[in-house]
Amino acid sequence: MSIVTEKEAKKILKKVLSFSKADECECNLNGQLTGNIRYARNTVTTAGEVSDLTLAVQSTYGMKMGVATINEFDDASLEKVVRRAEELAKLAPDNPELMPNLKPQKYAKMNTYFDATANVTPKYRAKAADDGITPSKAKKLVASGFLTDSYTMSAIMNSNGLFAYNVATDISFSATIRTEDGKGSGWVTRDYSDVTKMNTAEASQIAIKKSLGSAAAKELEPGKYTVILEPAAGVGLLGRLFNNMDQRAADEGRSFLSYKAKQDEKNAPKNKLGEKMFDQRVNIYSDPNHPEVPTATFADDGSTVGKTYWIKNGKIENFQSSRYWADKTNSKYNPTASGSHQWIMSGGDGSLEEMIKNTRRGILVTRLWYIRQLDPQTLLYTGLTRDGTFYIENGKIKYPVKNFRFNESPIVMLNNIEALGKPVRIDGNMVPPMKIRDFTFSSLSDAV
Amino acid sequence: MERRDFIKLTGAGVGGLILPITGNMVSAAQLLDRPMDVSMKKQLADVALNAAKSAGASYADARIGRYLNQFITTREKVVNNVVNTESAGIGIRVIANGTWGFASTSKMTPDSIAKTAKQAVAIAKANSKFQTEPVQLALVKGVGEVSWKTPIVKNAFEIPIKEKADMLLNVNNAALSNGASYITSVIFLVNEQKYFASTDGSYIDQDVHRLWAPFFASAVGKSGFKQRTSLGNPVGMGFEYLDGKKEDKIYVDGANIGYNNSYDMVEDAVNAGKQLQKKLAAKSVKPGKYDLVLDPAHLMLTIHESVGHPLELDRVLGYEANFAGTSFATLDKWKSKKFQYGSDIVNLVADKTQPYSLGYVGYDDEGVKTKQWDLIKDGVLVNYQAIRDQVHMIDQTESHGCCYSQSWRDVQFQRMPNVSLQANQEEDLTANDIIKGVEKGIYIAGRGSFSIDQQRYNFQFGGQLFYEIKDGKIVDQIEDVAYQSNTQDFWNSCTQLAGKSDYRVGGSFFDGKGQPPQVSAVSHGCPTTRFNNINVLNTKRKV
């Protein structure tokens, strides 16, 4: 048992709540059915399937809270897990930041489940591996890759009568294809909610093309360059910007979004809400009903989730925060979808190819790797290009170049936008290809 | 416990319930329950091995695991979370038709175990159609029924929760009273009760303990904020690590206090508060070439990234190409027997038997007795890290004993053993002795930002504390330091090592590898070490 229907979930959770003696009780039921295949050196190395269903019970007495989980579902086990949560709650110290459970909510329709994805077979996974291995062998290349598919279920019920339920599917694929002499390397990644959109053969061909095209890379001097970041290259820095938009950190002075009061400034704000920090074209939001990156319309605590702008026309429009902090500071609570960190960056209509065509001189970056923060105040990050870095001249890819280390901030990057292309799905987010001027490369790497 | 779950569980203000993926939360009392009887484990393991053999396996191993975690997280004056997790089950690995197969279950009945063993064989047979390199397993003689236990003095799970929470609140108070504006502190305990059995005739019962107690402090000033994390280490020890004994403290004049086999967390928090205030006022480094003197609590991470990872044989051979990457330390360099990885004073050993370390066990997760071996000898690359199905690829017949799985649920594979830089064997120099000889340099303590390319050539590291050295003396705390180098250039610029009494073991609790990813814990020992003429950057940037 790993995925249960809405009716079954309701029945299990009602039974759990019937055992509760605490002031408040909230329970979550999460199921998963996942499969994967991994290959390297042109052969399958591992493959497996995992199924699991877990119940978590959170009991509260006053300001004391305890949590216990179990994966057995007979009546005795259900009662046992409630008693355990209550025992832990009684032992726990008061948590002054504990919030009361929510009242029942009304959720918008969810479109996260696709039958075809839930029914992916080991045969499908094997073919995905073969889509990389066979053409690579034919071209004397070495293929490695990973495909994983998931069918998940989540349900929440609390003692106030709140109930939420959703099922979702996802599939993701990545491949790294290298030349036999190790001088060329190409990479590709794809992820969807609906497997019928996945084409592992087409994706593998991109990695093959990049592998062959990246061999015999030339050295360019490190420095500031105009870059075209493919969506898979931009996602890392944009995601880190999104993850640093917490209101509490900003209010406490520990964020790039903290407001630095001027001398003698009275009633200064604590954060930069409403401040224009980026190029006018920067719009980043979350939307559970986006057709390409659908998510649940409820949050982990059962709150409803709708479309929320985080950055609008370059201005800080909203913060992420806990329910406690929003309540304490009397500010808007903007929950994000359960089981997701989805964000969407708007772009234009142009393709990556058109962007390359319109570039006089620049560097095309396939992906960024090992991104680490250097300074949380300026969101300065370091990392490296990887698996396909090319020099563009007069609208054409001229030759491959050696990989660079970059030291750059997404704040600077989003102020140096030359053009944004059509967003595509990467890691559950929508990311446009971005043409950025003055992107800082600090040194060269010999890595291929 | 996976890294993302740890971060989620220790994070403040997480909405809703918290669900660890690989563990079920249980009460404190239950964590101290007697584990399953060894004879029962043997019976169940034999069910798995017999079922696998009957289904056509030429080899099988079974790992019955009970994995316990406990952590307590605090923030300033508040205890955010007290969590106990338990995960138990069996993982069965087989070879059939020359191919690996693996399956696992949490249902510990003989029927369920036999069914899981057969499923592992079926997966092996199905995958054998795609197999181009049949598994060649290095011979291991069965050891019969044996047991091993981490030599802990105080079982940290047995210390009352209140005592541990109060200790963390004392730490927070110490930092806040001395200059910190905010602090989060955590104590994280791991107990792996692992039983391994194989068709080679081994029945190995192990009880492994690990502990980590970090804090993360920050201070807000007029011009911005600064952060300082703790200088203690994750260790393969019990609660005795937090005794903070005098003999385990190593003082560097004008700079920090280093900790050896025990840690004074409150003292470190006091220093963190004071150092944070100095950080806020410190001058920014002038970029250029400097001689670096690296404290063990910092250098351990540089060793991890620039020596530990590139010498993992699966990376060298391309098995990790799609995720972590490959390695510059290719087989031809090793075969030449003269690849100068570092200067001739550089000796790095792999070791799964090092006391107090995170990687210390009696046997690895495929039943191989652990040992120590050379990786870099007198600066030359001499060996890799390899397990039973890999050693034949480097013309060796004996596994190195560094196979590991993060839980019963996941398949075991090659993981990094402790990799350590040997101390100066001729002179017992101190950090102060080394600093005395430096004209223009920077002394760096604690781990900060770290980034390295996918073949482990180009790296860039930050730290927690930076001190400018002028004419043999530490003159000032400075900020915004990162050094950038190439692995081979860096290790060949190593000119001086402190001695045995300065040697300390640091580590990483969450080293990630594989797809789906798994974590493992690993230590790195080293003395304070000098590297000449290294490129230092200034990381301050106007935005």
| Smallest CA–CA distance from B327 into chain A, residue | A447
Q: What is the mean pLDDT of residues B447-470?
A: 96
Q: What is the largest CA-CA distance in chain B?
A: 73
**For the packed helices B265-281 and B161-177, what is the interaxial angle rounded to 10 degrees?**
30
Which residue, B419, B418, B425, is CA-closest to B498?
B425
- The answer to whether residues A62 and A160 belong to one domain is yes
Specify if A13 maps to a domain: yes
Specify if B34 maps to a domain: yes
- The answer to whether residues B186 and B226 belong to one domain is no
Q: Of A195, A212, A229, which closes a domain?
A: A212
User: Are B333 and B342 a contacting pair, CB within 8 Å?
Assistant: no
- The answer to whether residues B335 and B415 belong to one domain is yes
Question: Which two tokens mark A45?
Answer: 């190395």
Q: Any CB–CB contact under 8 A between A16 and chain B?
A: no
Q: A9-18, A29-38, A182-191, A276-285: which range is least confident on average?
A: A29-38
Q: Which residues of A touch B534 (CB under 8 A)?
A: none
- The answer to whether residues A278 and A190 belong to one domain is no
Q: Which residues of A touch B130 (CB under 8 A)?
A: 39, 43-44, 126, 129-130, 133
Which residue, B105, B107, B99, B106, is CA-closest to B123?
B99
Note the pLDDT tens digit of each residue in A63-80.
Answer: 988 887 777 788 988 998
Q: Which residue, chain included where needed, has tokens 């060298």?
A: B316
Distance (Å) from the alpha carbon of A202 to chain B's nearest alpha carbon: 18
Q: Are strands B481-486 and B529-538 parallel, antiparallel or unpaired?
A: antiparallel
- Output the average pLDDT for chain B: 92
Q: Any CB–CB contact under 8 A between B100 and chain A?
A: yes
pLDDT at B160: 86
User: Are A216 and A352 a contacting pair, CB within 8 Å?
Assistant: no
- The answer to whether residues B253 and B300 belong to one domain is no
Interchain pair A447, B453: CB under 8 A: yes
Which residue, A59, A14, A162, is CA-closest to A102?
A162
Q: Of A184, A212, A240, which closes a domain?
A: A212
pLDDT at B33: 55
pLDDT at A367: 97
Give the angle subtended at the CA of B529 by the CAs of B523 and B532, to the nearest 5°: 130
Q: What is the mean pLDDT of residues A185-201?
A: 98
- B13 falls in which pLDDT band (50, 70, 90)? very low
Q: Of B226, B257, B281, which closes a domain?
A: B281
d(C-alpha A192, C-alpha A172), whole Å: 7
As for how many domains chain B has, the answer is: 3
Specify if A125 maps to a domain: yes
Distance (Å) from the alpha carbon of B247 to chain A's nearest alpha carbon: 35
- The answer to whether residues A204 and A289 belong to one domain is no
d(C-alpha A279, C-alpha A290), whole Å: 24
Which residue, B448, B462, B446, B469, is CA-closest to B253?
B469
Interchain pair B543, A322: CB under 8 A: no
Q: Of A182, A212, A242, which closes a domain?
A: A212
Note the pLDDT tens digit of each residue in B265-281.
Answer: 999 999 999 999 999 99
Q: Within a 13 Å sphere around the CA of A207, how many CA atoms are in the beta-carbon half?
A: 31
Q: pLDDT above 90 covers what percent of chain A?
A: 86
- Residues B357, B67, B312, B447, CA torsion sign: negative
- Output the average pLDDT for chain A: 95
Q: Going by C-beta distance under 8 Å and a sequence separation of 6 or more, which residues neighbour residue A164? A: A105, A107, A154, A155, A156, A157, A296, A298, A302, A338
- The answer to whether residues A227 and A199 belong to one domain is no
Q: Nearest CB to B227: which of A40, A325, A376? A: A376
- The answer to whether residues B355 and B469 belong to one domain is yes
pLDDT at A143: 98
- CATH code for the domain in which residue A126 is found: 3.30.2290.10
Interchain pair A299, B16: CB under 8 A: yes
Q: Any CB–CB contact under 8 A between A373 and chain B?
A: yes
Q: Which residue, chain included where needed, has tokens 């249960």?
A: A4
Distance (Å) from the alpha carbon of B189 to chain A's nearest alpha carbon: 18
pLDDT at B6: 46
To which H or E segment does residue B377 belong? strand B372-377
- The answer to whether residues A349 and A274 belong to one domain is yes
- The answer to whether residues A193 and A274 belong to one domain is no
**For the packed helices A122-138 and A200-214, what is the interaxial angle rounded to 10 degrees?**
30
Residue B2 has pLDDT above 70, yes or no: no
Q: Which residues of A touch B161 (CB under 8 A)?
A: 91
- The answer to whether residues A93 and A149 belong to one domain is yes
Question: Which two tokens mark A34?
Answer: 């996942």
- The answer to whether residues A172 and A259 belong to one domain is no
d(C-alpha A156, C-alpha B411), whole Å: 32
Cβ–Cβ pairs < 8 A, chains A and B = 241
Specify if B317 maps to a domain: yes
Q: A262-266, B51-55, B331-335: which range is least confident on average?
A: A262-266
Q: Scan residues 173-192 of A and list those with Cβ closer than 8 Å to B.
A: 174-176, 178, 182, 185, 187
Which residue, A165, A148, A168, A149, is CA-closest to A157?
A165
Q: Which residues of B touch A258 (CB under 8 A)?
A: 220, 225
Q: Which residues of B touch A262 (CB under 8 A)?
A: none
Q: Of B246, B281, B316, which closes a domain?
A: B281
What secondary structure does DSSP assign to A228-282, as a single string? EE-HHHHHHHHHHHHHT-BHHHHHTT-STTB--PPTT-TT--SB-TT-B-S-TT-
Q: Scan residues 361-400 of B and list those with Cβ closer than 8 Å to A.
A: none
d(C-alpha B123, C-alpha B100), whole Å: 8
pLDDT at B10: 45
Specify if B171 maps to a domain: no
User: Are B438 and B293 a contacting pair, CB within 8 Å?
Assistant: yes
pLDDT at A203: 98
Give the angle subtended at the CA of B525 by the CAs of B523 and B526, to the nearest 5°: 150
Q: Scan residues 439-478 of B and list those with Cβ closer than 8 Å to A.
A: 449-458, 460, 462
User: Are B415 and B513 a contacting pair, CB within 8 Å?
Assistant: yes
- The answer to whether residues B48 and B195 belong to one domain is yes
Q: A422-426, B32-36, B97-101, B467-471: which range is least confident on average?
A: B32-36
pLDDT at B287: 97
pLDDT at A91: 78
- The answer to whether residues A311 and A195 belong to one domain is no
Residue B60 has pLDDT above 90, yes or no: yes
pLDDT at B34: 54
Q: Which residue, chain included where needed, has tokens 């406690």?
A: A324
Specify if A1 maps to a domain: no
pTM beyond 0.80 = yes
User: Are A209 and A366 a contacting pair, CB within 8 Å?
Assistant: no
Specify if A390 maps to a domain: yes
Question: Which two tokens mark B401?
Answer: 């004993």
B48 burial via Cβ count (<10 Å: 0-12, 13-18, 19+): buried
Q: Of B258, B281, B304, which closes a domain?
A: B281
- The answer to whether residues B368 and B409 belong to one domain is yes
Note the pLDDT tens digit of each residue in A103-141.
Answer: 999 999 999 999 999 999 988 998 999 999 999 999 999
| Smallest CA–CA distance from B482 into chain A, residue | A374
Q: Within a 13 Å sphere around the CA of A336, how many CA atoms are in the beta-carbon half?
A: 20
- B71 falls in which pLDDT band (50, 70, 90)? confident
- The answer to whether residues A239 and A204 belong to one domain is no
Question: Which two tokens mark A190?
Answer: 């794809």
Q: Which residues of A touch B318 (CB under 8 A)?
A: 40-41, 142, 144, 178
Running DSSP on this structure, what letter comes out for residue A120? -
Interchain pair B19, A445: CB under 8 A: no
Instruction: For residue B305, report the phi and psi dihedrals to the nearest 5 degrees.
Output: -80, -35
d(C-alpha B275, C-alpha B256), whole Å: 9
- B132 falls in which pLDDT band (50, 70, 90)? confident
- The answer to whether residues B263 and B325 belong to one domain is no
- The answer to whether residues A223 and A208 belong to one domain is no
Q: Any CB–CB contact under 8 A between A312 and chain B?
A: no
Q: A202-211, B119-128, B519-528: which range is least confident on average?
A: B119-128
- Residues B189, B195, B198, B204, CA torsion sign: positive
Q: What is the mean pLDDT of residues B417-440?
A: 98
- The answer to whether residues B265 and B229 belong to one domain is yes
- The answer to whether residues B431 and B316 belong to one domain is yes
What secondary structure does DSSP assign to B438-490, as a single string? -SEEEEEEEEEEEEE-TTS-EEEEEEEEEEEEETTEEEEEEESEEEEEEHHHH
User: Are B106 and B86 a contacting pair, CB within 8 Å?
Assistant: no
To which H or E segment does residue A151 belong? strand A141-158
pLDDT at B126: 85
As for how many domains chain A has, the answer is: 2
- Domain span at B409: 288-538
Interchain pair B26, A68: CB under 8 A: yes
pLDDT at B162: 84
Q: Which residues of B touch A300 (CB under 8 A)?
A: 14-17
Q: Going by C-beta distance under 8 Å and a sequence separation of 6 or more, which residues neighbour residue B37? A: none
pLDDT at B82: 78
Q: pLDDT above 90 covers what percent of chain B?
A: 83
Q: Nearest CB to B16: which of A28, A412, A442? A: A28
Running DSSP on this structure, what letter comes out for residue A446? -
- The answer to whether residues B469 and B418 belong to one domain is yes
Q: What is the mean pLDDT of residues B283-304?
A: 97
Q: Going by C-beta distance under 8 Å and a sequence separation of 6 or more, which residues neighbour residue A390? A: A213, A214, A363, A364, A397, A398, A399, A400, A401
Residue B77 has pLDDT above 80, yes or no: yes
d(C-alpha B175, C-alpha B151), whole Å: 32
Q: Going by C-beta distance under 8 Å and a sequence separation of 6 or more, which residues neighbour residue B424? A: B345, B496, B497, B498, B499, B500, B527
User: Are A252 and B220 a contacting pair, CB within 8 Å?
Assistant: yes
- The answer to whether residues A317 and A206 belong to one domain is no
Distance (Å) from the alpha carbon of B160 to chain A's nearest alpha carbon: 11
- The answer to whether residues B367 and B459 belong to one domain is yes
Q: Which residues of B touch A335 (CB under 8 A)?
A: 15
| Smallest CA–CA distance from A253 into chain B, residue | B220
Interchain pair A54, B24: CB under 8 A: yes
- Domain span at A75: 6-212
* DSSP SS3 for A358: coil
* DSSP SS3 for B165: helix
- CATH code for the domain in which residue B187 is found: 3.30.2290.10
- The answer to whether residues B408 and B499 belong to one domain is yes
Q: What is the mean pLDDT of residues B41-51?
A: 97
pLDDT at B17: 32
Q: A149-163, B3-17, B63-77, B144-158: which range is least confident on average?
A: B3-17
| Smallest CA–CA distance from A26 into chain B, residue | B17
d(C-alpha B209, C-alpha B408), whole Å: 16
Q: Scan residues 306-335 of B and list those with Cβ closer than 8 Å to A.
A: 317-323, 325-326, 328, 330
Residue B14 has pLDDT above 60, yes or no: no
Note the pLDDT tens digit of each residue in B313-363.
Answer: 999 999 999 999 999 999 999 999 999 999 999 999 999 999 999 999 999
Instruction: For residue A410, report the phi and psi dihedrals to the nearest 5 degrees.
Output: -65, -20
Specify if B364 maps to a domain: yes
Cis peptide before B516 (omega within 30 of 0): yes
